[in-house]
Amino acid sequence: SQTIHQWPATLVQPVGSPLSLECTVEGTSNPNLYWYRQAAGRGLQLLFYSVGIGQISSEVPQNLSASRPQDRQFILSSKKLLLSDSGFYLCAWSPIRGDTQYFGPGTRLTVL
Amino acid sequence: AQRVTQPEKLLSVFKGAPVELKCNYSYSGSPELFWYVQYSRQRLQLLLRHISRESIKGFTADLNKGETSFHLKKPFAQEEDSAMYYCAPVTGGGNKLTFGTGTQLKVEL
């Protein structure tokens, strides 16, 4: 069966420090991959999605970037974190475009 | 601009009462629509999708193209229905979901 993992579960980082959040999927090939941010009172915002290795679509201009170095690995990064980057980050995958998305457990990021 | 609206941030009902979580969209054509749910301390997960026309945990949702709505309904709320509910149409040429801001449903005894 397919599973999706995210780590770390919780992260506290100072302003200006770099960031790397990792997401991996098991049990499937060539998934569509997604990064979301869930902020209090603002719902779920799509940040990036990828339909294949090296193919990244950015949804909102921001301080973050994403990469997909392997088929089932999706990384969210920042060179210098801002206070406004704090939030709950969710990774998701779907088998084909427009299909059900399956979510990871999320990473709680606090930037101080 | 294309958007999805969930007008209620919080909806509180008594156990056994009917529930309707509102969702309106402004996308052209016939979008594929989903409802996702996040129970306390659990992952966000699919509740139902309109194309399957099924009832999940007693919930149903009908796509009303005239009103551009996809409201989620249940005739008798249960305590375990308390959760955060998100409406999400497929957009971006079928590559992505656009989530609404969500409605927190609280079922009181």
Q: Which pLDDT does position B1 carry in this prediction?
A: 60
CB burial of A53-73 (b: ≥16 within 10 Å; e: otherwise) equals eeebeebeeeebebbbeeebe
The amino acid at B99? F
Average pLDDT for A63-68? 95
Q: Is the pLDDT of residue B95 over 80?
A: no
Q: Report the pLDDT value the prediction gives residue A17, as an integer from 0 to 100.
A: 97
Which residues from A are below 8 Å from B102, CB to CB? 43-44
Q: In the prediction, which pLDDT does B92 show?
A: 67
Rounded mean pLDDT of A70-79? 96
Average pLDDT over residues A38-43: 76
- Taking residues A72-88, report their average pLDDT: 95
Q: What is the pLDDT of residue B2?
A: 64
Mean pLDDT of A26-45: 88
Q: Which of A69, A74, A67, A70 is nearest to A90 (CA)?
A: A74
Q: Which tops the pLDDT comparison, B50 or A110?
A: A110
Nearest CB partner across the interface for B32, out of A90, A98, A101: A98
Residues A9-26 have a mean pLDDT of 97
pLDDT of A11 = 97
Q: Which residue has the higher pLDDT, B24 or B91?
A: B24
Per the prediction, chain A carries an average pLDDT of: 92
Closest CA to A9 of A112, A108, A85, A104: A108
Mean pLDDT value of segment B78-83: 97
Torsion, Cα B43 B70 B54 B95, to 10 degrees, reads -60
pLDDT exceeds 90 at position A37:
yes
Q: Is the previous residue joined to A61 through a cis bond, with omega within 30 degrees of 0?
A: no
Residues of B in contact with A102 (CB under 8 A): 45-46
Rounded percentage of chain B residues whose pLDDT exceeds 90: 60
**A56 in contact with chain B, both atoms CB, cutoff 8 A:** no
Strand A43-52 relative to strand B103-108: parallel, antiparallel, unpaired? unpaired
At residue B54, the pLDDT reads 82
Q: Which residues in chain A touch residue B96, judged by CB atoms under 8 angstroms apart?
A: 34, 46, 49, 59
Among chain A residues, the shortest Cα distance to B101 is held by A43
Size of interface A-B (CB pairs under 8 A): 51
Highest average pLDDT, of A41-50, A73-82, B84-93, comes from A73-82
CB contact under 8 A, B99 and A100: no
Instruction: Write out residues 36-55 of A within 8 Å (CB-CB) of B.
Output: 36, 41-46, 49, 51
Q: Pick the residue with more confidence: B89 or B15?
A: B15
